[in-house]
Amino acid sequence: MTASSTENPQPGARSFAEVVTPAPAVDAASASRVAAAVFGVPGMVAALGSQHDANFLLEATDGRRLLLKFAHPSTTVAELTAQSLAAERFGSLAADIAAPRTHRALDGALVSAVPLGDGGSRLLVRMLDFVSGSPLSGSRYLAPSVVAQLGAYAARSVLALAGFEHPGTQRVLEWDLRNAGRLVDDLLPSVTGPALAARLRAAMSSCTDALADLDAELPRQVIHGDITDDNVVARASVPGGRMEPCGIIDFGDVMSTWAVAELAVTCSSVLHHHGASAVSILPAVRAFQALRPLSSAEADALWPLVVARAATLVVSAHHAAATDPGNDYTRANAAHEHRIFDVATSVPLGVMTELVRQAAGFPPASAPSVPAPMHPLLPGLVAAAVRFVDLSSTSDALAAGLFASPDAERLVAAAALRIRPAGPFTDAAAGAGPVAEDFSKSEAAGSSRGGPGIDPVAGVFPESGTAGSSHVDSAVASAAPDSGAAPAGAGTTGRTAAAATRFGERRLTRSFRESCTPHPCAALGVEVTFAEPGQVVRAPWPGTLDRSPAGGAPLRLTTASGLTLELTGIVAPDGSDLPRPGPDIAATQTAGTAVTSALDAATGPQTVTGQAAEVPVRAGDPLGIAVAGTPLGIRLTTGDVALDEVPWFTTAELLPGWLPSVLDPTPLITGFDTAGSSIPQTSLQPRPREPRSTFPLRNGTTPEAAALVRRRERHLAAVQEHYFADPPEIERGWRHHLFDTDARPYLDMVNNVAAVGHAHPRIAEAVGRQLNLLNTNSRFNYASIAEFSERLAALLPDPLDTVFLVNSGTEAVDLALRLSWAWSGRRDVVAVREAYHGWSDAADAVSTSVADNPQALETRPPWVHTLDAPNAYRGRHRGADAHRYATDAVASIERLQADGRAPATFIAEAFYGNAGGMPLPDGYLRAVYPAIRAAGGLCIADEVQVGYGRLGEYFWGFEQQGVLPDIVTVAKAMGNGHPLGAVITTRAIADRYRSQGYFFSSAGGSPVSSVVGTTVLDILADEHLQQNARVVGAHLKSRLEDLAEKHELIGAVHGLGLYLGVELVRDRATREPADLETAMICERMRELGVIVQPTSDRQCVLKIKPPMTLTIESADYFVHTLDAVLTHGW
């Protein structure tokens, strides 16, 4: 973003409003003549956009691509010479990064003056290399790895230009952030809209104050000054790969200024990209720090400089629009610049500065200690009487989906206190899950400024079939520890018992909605609920009491040291709306009036609105009364951040930035002697973990999640892989959602294992009951194994009536193959290519997917014979010719028989799951099965992935083909995550296994496994999940097919019911697999709260096989998010 400079080197001597003038007017014909006459390079020219210069791409007749650059009239020869020399220096010291070399004119000059127009005016012109590549400009998403590369480029520029000196760099420049305050003052009159002008003025004032204190400590040198997405060009290193930086252009802003300004300018350019938030800059900070470490002062200055840059962009855009209304470049960039300012000002300076410091490796700032109270805040309450409730992702109190209820926090507190809260209740627990939010409305800064009350659920999912009222009762019972006992400290001590929340806890109760961005769920205060009425709240320190007139605003007590105690949910004793000091008020509790409960109102606990007042109070003066069953909100803040900027809840990623300014008020609840209390050791780290690290994290992964991966990798075999390069720590599931330890919800689109939904309460209850009765091996005589076997056999047509129970799909396939060998006395097996059946010797032998085993085809034993994958989309026979697969398969089977290798069995998925939910061609199995049987073999239908109602129209995949197999293998869905598998066959085939010896599996068909299996079948029927798979699956497939009309990358949508596949291709004609794109899309979808994974041998299919509880709303959210990713990039 090349800018003009003033002639006067003294800042403030001349208004920037006088300096900013339109770019020079040069037409293409004139540019072409200059190129030939001055530089001796004839060719075709095309104008390029610029705010200050006139730039042209020159396609020379000798094949070179060059840049012809006519400088803004205010630019001097010295300045242009400095730019060319700086680019040359950068290119020599960072040779792997392309930079524009300046070509000398025919007379040997770096800079030439040429006359243009009739008035005899002369313009300075240079010819430079045109750096190939595409700029990263525009609004498309920038991946963290790309942001990190931008930060690295900024660091390498600072390192390369350190020590470079030239008179042309000593100038007063519009884009020199040392001049930002003056620039904003000068250009602010051009800004339309008083509200925007006020925001710009306030933001710049804060930045100026912060930078003034740091100025003397900030190193100065020559910098590029404009390493932004506009001036960094990129290209993909491999087909389908991500566009990654490869060069830097436009040294027009080379100047001598603060070195850290280089990084600030780079960071600001990230903020307007799709999905960017303030923390999106942190990968750039880490990358810069790794190459050129920031000083402490530079780390403190970075975010104020980012905000200052944002303000200068906005005022300059408004001024340029006023002075040069025809400049399309300026007009096109205005929206981006406003977006940068909005994001940069969405988080207070101090909060982001702390996050920047931690990203740069500086230790977290120490928050001041809570001063010992001169009087108890809650007199009569002892530490042992306080029970701390757990509202995190791993809380036992939030079982059975209770967290999804708007009453969840009230119920958990009541359960901890052994009281029954007053209704009515919204029982979202039975069928509720995360509620989808509009993607476009989910990108605002993550904070919740209301009080700590619960927002009502925007909507609930269909009932799961469990009685709603029973969920409230069972949730209260399960949430109450030591049921039946009196609360600690109550009764025997005469003290009031209380339930308290935990400071800093990431609450699942606040984060259960589907959203592309994390919810503000981390508590910056605590709430206390009392079991009995009459708790007086008193001033712990002397100070000034302030009651804002704004409705719902907290009562605030500010001490002489600047510490502010904020309280919500208390009332004055006489029903007045202004808490004030006075005589002891405990005896007058009956005259008090309670405010609306935090759990009944969206805005949280609040006192009644009244007149503004400031009242001096002494330590021990009564402030009000807390009402039984109503949370008392408590928060402590320092004077470092404006109180109105402090939210009650923030996002987990912003939480570390708030901690120096918001203190844990827990000691005010329990006193400073917490012996014997139930206070958690730390609520920010609920269980022992590795120390919080400064490991440079990607994609927003937390240090704890990264540490867990390292623990896993130390002892777990490397081949037992995990999803994603930087996986979150997933510790909870509910229905078709997963939750990480930051309470982030993820829509689960891959877990066909959890067919009836995660954490189904009926399964948990059934398993718990059976474990309390019996769990042993299957040779004992107990009812559950008989019942389960009967239920399984009843699901299949005659004569498939005999069941073997095992522990997994692999065991099921292995056993099925052994049955076929025992039946025929032969060993040869026919299998289709690109299939996966398991990992045992036998199951792996017939698994031919190169995605699961790259040597799958080369390492097949001689008794395995493979057929072409019957892929009607990209195989040998496509579309209407797909019937030829069956003809070819029958011919291969007949050849084997003729060669004396008659097959013992044929095994295939009855619906081609491993290829991405692709149906077999019509009639395929109707041709193959008879051919196998004619050879004396058996037919195995592998239903492990696709069976059990998932296809919607059919319970079993083989039904879609109109055939009946001899052996059916099933697992995954039948145990809903519990290790359970089965082989179902005829009595005659089962009996033939005796020739191989006896069959025994210790856990296969155990009492617990059998109970799980029966319960899953009950849930499938009671909750109509096969019908749900049909209805929701049809809706989802239709929406995805509509999406394919919009995005060329989608080559096809495969599947049926809730087993679908979206195949991504680079070219619809050639069907080149978009494998790299698919992997990156899955990573981006995870960042946006959706879990989806690649499948097929080419790893270019999004496999869609969610729990069968998936709703229309969640299906739409998936399509909406995928559309956004395909539109805005990955």
Angstrom distance (rounded) from CA 543 to CA 961: 80
How much is the pLDDT for 677?
38
What average pLDDT score do residues 1031-1053 get?
A: 98
**How many Cβ atoms from other residues are within 10 Å of residue 768's Cβ?**
11
Amino acid (1-letter code) at residue 959: E
Name the pairing type of β-strands 386-388 and 498-500.
Answer: parallel
- Cα separations (Å) of 765 from 432, 1019, 1108? 19, 13, 20
Q: Is residue 816 scored above 60 in pLDDT?
A: yes
* Residue 527 near residue 501, CB atoms below 8 Å: yes
Q: Is residue 472 scored above 60 in pLDDT?
A: no
How much is the pLDDT for 628?
67
Angstrom distance (rounded) from CA 728 to CA 739: 9
How much is the pLDDT for 674?
41
- CATH code of the region 16-359: 3.90.1200.10
CA terminus-to-terminus distance, the chain: 26
For 1088-1099, write each residue's pLDDT tens digit: 999 999 999 999
How much is the pLDDT for 574?
54
Angstrom distance (rounded) from CA 1085 to CA 1087: 5
Indicate yes or no: pTM above 0.95.
Answer: no
For 868-894, write each residue's pLDDT tens digit: 999 999 999 999 999 999 999 999 999
What average pLDDT score do residues 428-451 get?
A: 42
858: confidence class by pLDDT, cuts 50, 70, 90 = confident
For 534-547, write each residue's pLDDT tens digit: 899 999 999 999 86
Q: Give SS3 for 687.
A: coil
708 vs 868, more confident: 868
427: confidence class by pLDDT, cuts 50, 70, 90 = very low
What average pLDDT score do residues 728-752 get?
A: 96
CATH class of 778-1022: alpha beta
How much is the pLDDT for 713?
83
Residue percentage of the chain with pLDDT more than 70: 84
480: confidence class by pLDDT, cuts 50, 70, 90 = very low
31 vs 465, more confident: 31
Q: Where are the domains of the chain?
A: 16-359, 383-670, 778-1022, 1025-1128
699: confidence class by pLDDT, cuts 50, 70, 90 = low
CA-wise closest residue to 258 among 330, 207, 317, 193: 207
1087: confidence class by pLDDT, cuts 50, 70, 90 = very high
Tokens of 1106: 């969610």
For 639-697, write each residue's pLDDT tens digit: 888 888 999 999 999 999 999 999 999 999 987 644 333 344 444 433 333 333 333 34
237: confidence class by pLDDT, cuts 50, 70, 90 = confident
Q: What backbone torsions phi and psi does residue 383 show, to the nearest 5 degrees?
A: -60, -40
CA-wise closest residue to 400 among 463, 344, 478: 478
How much is the pLDDT for 92?
95
Q: Give SS3 for 135.
A: strand
How much is the pLDDT for 435?
44
Mean pLDDT of the chain: 86
How much is the pLDDT for 487?
40
For 331-370, write each residue's pLDDT tens digit: 778 899 999 999 999 999 999 999 999 999 999 998 888 9
677 vs 819, more confident: 819
916: confidence class by pLDDT, cuts 50, 70, 90 = confident
Q: Is residue 782 scored above 50 in pLDDT?
A: yes
The b/e string for 410-428 (b: 16+ C-beta within 10 A; e otherwise) is bbbbbbbbbbebeeebbbb
Check residue 1063 and report its DSSP letter.
Answer: E
Residue with tokens 């009944």: 600
What average pLDDT score do residues 900-916 get?
A: 94
Residue percentage of the chain with pLDDT more than 90: 72
16 vs 900, more confident: 900
177 vs 630, more confident: 177
For 411-425, write each residue's pLDDT tens digit: 999 999 987 665 555
What average pLDDT score do residues 109-125 get?
A: 86
Angstrom distance (rounded) from CA 904 to CA 938: 6
198: confidence class by pLDDT, cuts 50, 70, 90 = very high
For 584-617, write each residue's pLDDT tens digit: 333 333 323 332 232 222 223 333 334 446 889 9
- CATH code of the region 1025-1128: 3.90.1150.10
- Tell me which of 2-6, 136-140, 276-280, 940-944 is least confident: 2-6
The b/e string for 815-838 (b: 16+ C-beta within 10 A; e otherwise) is bbbbbbbbbbebbbbbbbbbbbbb
445 vs 634, more confident: 634
How much is the pLDDT for 434?
46
Extract the runs of DSSP E, i.e. beta strands, from 594-675.
Answer: 613-617, 622-626, 632-637, 649-650, 662-663
How much is the pLDDT for 836?
95
Angstrom distance (rounded) from CA 610 to CA 552: 10
Angstrom distance (rounded) from CA 54 to CA 26: 7
Name the pairing type of β-strands 829-832 and 905-909.
Answer: parallel
